[in-house]
Structure 1
């Protein structure tokens, strides 16, 4: 007799939903939220997992045990460098269990956003009775946020801030770390891209000591790492005179600083230099503010920036992390305009020139006088100096006489003497820009002119003399 063996194959199919394994909660904060102080709100984060479907109750299911979080590492989030953020920086709220909010009937409730504490904080209020309903098994998700005010009032240094949290249910895991991750960045926020400086007075060149040409406006740099400010000029100083003639001058005459910390004042060059007096740290609000300024010594100012025209250069600024891995550039086009200016000054003690004819020799030989330093002139363009009289004749008692102005000849600095007339006469030719040049002026009445005075009424004759510039 044959034995018949029957084989039964049972296929058991298990249908499982997607489950995310609970692990440390990692919150990566975008630099834009930190820089612009915008509230950060996370996508739902899986914090725990459960395969159960109801809360724990005592006293015959009429008194629920509330689920809580407790910080077991202190009241601050601790940075890897021992820096910290207060617990108030991060808020959280339950988002779902098993894909939905647990039942809140019969006095169940969902707390608003709150912060971690070193004592238990309830994150959901279960219904008063186990019969009122529980929740679906699955991931336990929370939403996290950092309010905008926290970015403005705290210092967020690059790296990870961590807080260890425990929970009182038999959810998985029993403890986890909440980690706030801050990216490393250095970025210019505000700084003018142009700077215009105008010099409109010759008195500016008479000031002794260092002259501040102008500040470059308030500068804000957002940073989560320490950094230095590097700077250079893209080229030497480019110069175009008021007459359209181009040239260059050494950029080293211009200095960059900030009138004290945080920048050290030093001469610019066409190579990058570190201008920071010390590494600039991360401060509350993650914005470092200062005001760069340009300056020049009094001597360099007169030597390099006196001639009328336009001086330009591009200032290249680089905010660079101390480890040189991050940098942020800012360029400023600097234009310094020196307006054409000229002055002629005659000291009060030298405003009158007197010729007295009392002897025969004075009529026969004529007379000559040199007035030392009678004219002090300044002109920031190439120029010529002219002289003229207010009339072609001397005056007697305010009335025109018959004594010609041409009997008086005028010369400066050894140049030829020019007969005085009402028509401007050139007495200094092709002079270069100068500040406070002192001229000795020679006044001469030659013998022929002196002899023409014989027989004239014995009285005082006068004439006004004017000196003027013509730019060339």
Structure 2
């Protein structure tokens, strides 16, 4: 009998040793949606150990004073990354017993199931057995399953880098296998645009925007990228040309290289856009707490380019292609943004105070015989971002004297422009004095006023006093 007993003990010892060498680590794959959305992760019931034999807890003498089952971290207080110096605190992962052999153990008298806990370098009880075996505290053979949880607050507070984070765990029951195992958090390698704005509309509604001497800055929508790996931001324009449609429906193009892309800080470097991808990251975007990186792209136009190429009223459209690419070029995420710059039709006619009055004095015979002409330099300053024609008219068909109408017809006064040989008689009906004007900003016009000999001679015999008439200048878009 003694020989047989020794033989049986030997077989038992070999079997136990074999089970220990096949320790099964606990792998928890964390979905990217939980990481990026910072939403709580809860696992399905996960097997951590196997209990092939036992049905009761260990108790001390006379069945009192149970030995509670525990977990202890033997690798330190943190989950360590497999290929970098990064780690996660033990508070990242919470766990709770789900079942033993398909059911929760009996609690009996004073036994209980602890709530969700975290691993620690000291022993943490994962179940509190009843005070005595006499109170029926037991459990079933089979899988020992746990539920694991990562609270939403942990996703916001920590950075989860692609790869495996592990912690070595030891448990204190010899009959539960394995005695030692790793708990491993598996973080996927992923990059995802978190903002999905596909169109940016920019409106220009003032000519003063073109009078500024500083660089024009157009801020795009805030860009936020969720990622578990470092990345660089690449960008390009979809075409070398900006498509233009004038306010009158006439198509055209502008060169995309007039526009530079950058950012509102040091996150992006500034470069002229082209139809080829360029790296706009002066340094890669590293994985940060919360696993989201944000920046605000900006478009830049020099004052001269803005005025020369984007002054005409109409709509300018182009598409930006962004590509967030991991630093090892293994994964990427694309985002396209259509940019529409709309320039509203705007026009101005200004007359400096010095040019608001034009006076003709008839005090010599020559004035009446030969008539008179005056050129008022830069009397009118024009701004119009559409093709246009310039008109002039009077408020009445006759000059007034002291506010009362006279019989001096307005057409004795003719209006012309420097550089043009045409003089147009003044009328209450608008008369064209500038043909086929192209978009222009702050163009000064020299206006010529003429009373020809026939008109001057019609003034002979008129009362020696002041006669006046008001003139109005206006645009018509063409």
TM norm. shorter chain > 0.5: yes
Aligned length: 453
Please give the per-residue CA displacement for 1:346-394, whole angstroms capped at 9, x wherever unaligned.
0011100111112222222222211111010011111111111122222
For 1:270 and 1:157, how far apart are their aligned partners in 2? 33
1:141 match: secondary structure: strand
2:36 match: secondary structure: helix
Q: Does 1:232 align with 2:233?
A: no
Which residue, 176, 189, 194 being the options, matches 1:189?
Answer: 194
Give the CA deviation at 1:161: 0.8
Which residue, 363, 371, 381 being the options, matches 2:376?
Answer: 371
1:204 match: secondary structure: helix
Q: Is the 8 A contact 2:111 2:137 kept in 1?
A: no
1:198 match: secondary structure: strand
Q: Is the 8 A contact 1:394 1:463 kept in 2?
A: yes
2:72 match? 70
Please give the per-residue CA displacement for 1:118-154, whole angstroms capped at 9, x wherever unaligned.
1111112223334535333333222211112211221
1:60 match: secondary structure: helix
What's the TM-score once normalised by structure 1's chain length? 0.91
Q: Is the 8 A contact 2:385 2:439 kept in 1?
A: yes
For 2:430 and 2:127, how far apart are their aligned partners in 1? 99
For 2:259 and 2:186, how far apart are their aligned partners in 1? 43
1:82 match? 85
1:223 match? 227
Q: Is the 8 A contact 2:23 2:180 kept in 1?
A: no
What is the CA RMSD across the aligned residues, in angstroms? 1.9
Q: Does 1:117 align with 2:117?
A: no
For 1:22 and 1:98, how far apart are their aligned partners in 2? 19
For 2:403 and 2:131, how far apart are their aligned partners in 1? 118
For 1:407 and 1:103, how far apart are their aligned partners in 2? 116
Give the CA deviation at 1:293: 2.7
2:146 match: secondary structure: strand
Q: Which moved more, 1:340-349 or 1:398-407?
A: 398-407
Q: Does 1:322 align with 2:327?
A: yes
Q: Is the 8 A contact 1:365 1:450 kept in 2?
A: yes
Give the CA deviation at 1:313: 1.5
For 1:342 and 1:64, how far apart are their aligned partners in 2? 92
For 2:191 and 2:202, how far apart are their aligned partners in 1? 29
Which residue, 147, 152, 168 being the options, matches 2:156?
Answer: 152
Q: Which moved more, 1:413-422 or 1:437-446?
A: 413-422
1:190 match: secondary structure: coil
2:284 match: secondary structure: coil
Q: Is the 8 A contact 2:214 2:302 kept in 1?
A: yes
What's the TM-score once normalised by structure 2's chain length? 0.90
For 1:46 and 1:121, how far apart are their aligned partners in 2? 18
Which residue, 449, 457, 469 being the options, matches 1:451?
Answer: 457
2:63 match: secondary structure: coil
Please give the per-residue CA displacement for 1:201-238, whole angstroms capped at 9, x wherever unaligned.
1111111211123x322222111111122222222211
Q: Does 1:165 align with 2:169?
A: yes
Q: Is the 8 A contact 1:387 1:468 kept in 2?
A: yes
1:450 match: secondary structure: helix
Which structure 1 residue ranges, 4+ long, deviate > 6 Å from structure 2? none
Q: Is the 8 A contact 1:22 1:46 kept in 2?
A: no
Q: Which moved more, 1:95-104 or 1:433-442?
A: 95-104
1:376-395 alignment runs, 5 A limit? 376-395=381-400
Question: Which is richer in helix?
Answer: 2
Q: Which moved more, 1:460-469 or 1:259-268?
A: 259-268
For 1:74 and 1:151, how far apart are their aligned partners in 2? 21
